[in-house]
Amino acid sequence: MTTFEEITITLPHMNLAARRSGNPAGPKLLAIHGWLDNAASFEPISPWFDEYDLVAIDLPGHGRSDHRPRGAWYHYIDYLHDVSTCIEALQWQRFSLLGHSLGGAICSVLAAALSERVERLYLIEALGPLSTPHEKTLGLLRAALADRAGVDAKKLRVFPSLDAPAAARRQHPQMPLSAAAAHALVARGTRAVAGGFVWSSDPRLTLTSAIRMTEEQVRNCLEGIQCPAHLVLADPAMPFVDFERMAERTELVSTLTFTRIAGTHHLHMDMPEQVARALRASG
């Protein structure tokens, strides 16, 4: 059984919660979860990376990490700063990256930006971030501003037990979750209050993104990946994953191996051994 240590990583602008496992003297591996998930996402797959010093973080606003201060927002590009600052706080010179969904999008671009330091890239359900055509920029900005105007009026729903938020997570039509996966994520993604439990994640995470990269910008970043890279995608593709575009992106990374596995978006939680073996097929 894998043993996890709860740690806090102190950054200049906030504290990140994380779970550490594996071999403290081994090569370094930073794991980054998906949107509205948390570090528990990597618990099932961690035994297949036990030679690593594995640190799975809760991104800002997720799990048990600090939220951004009032008046700040959650931009994709800011996560790159958060994660690179986290790496410096850990004092890692060389490291590998493991990312799922949003975490994979972050890892993809960071592997290119820090190409001289990244040894290996493991990706699940992501290769680069979502992109938006330049002609949709204004509409996206308008939607984001409208969302922000109403964020302070949002009230947290109080659940009487952890079974209720786990059931809520499983009801997402585009992101099916097994009961075990839902309970693992909810146990770390809620906090106790009078009368029950509320989500610990920042409500601002659900707001429309104000701006995204264009596909040309994403492609330029992906071309900078130099380390061995391994991508696993669910088959069939999830509704929010543009498989055709993802396949085009794979052609930009000459070091990439690419595998499709029958499963859902959280296949790394429901079938961890199969996913891990695909990710590690060539090392």
**Is 131 one of the catalytic residues?**
no
Catalytic site residue from 101, 108, 200, 201: 101
Query: Which tokens go with 105?
Result: 């999008």
Query: In sequence order, what are the beta bridge partners of 230?
Result: 122, 257
Q: Which residues does the annotation mark as catalytic?
A: 101
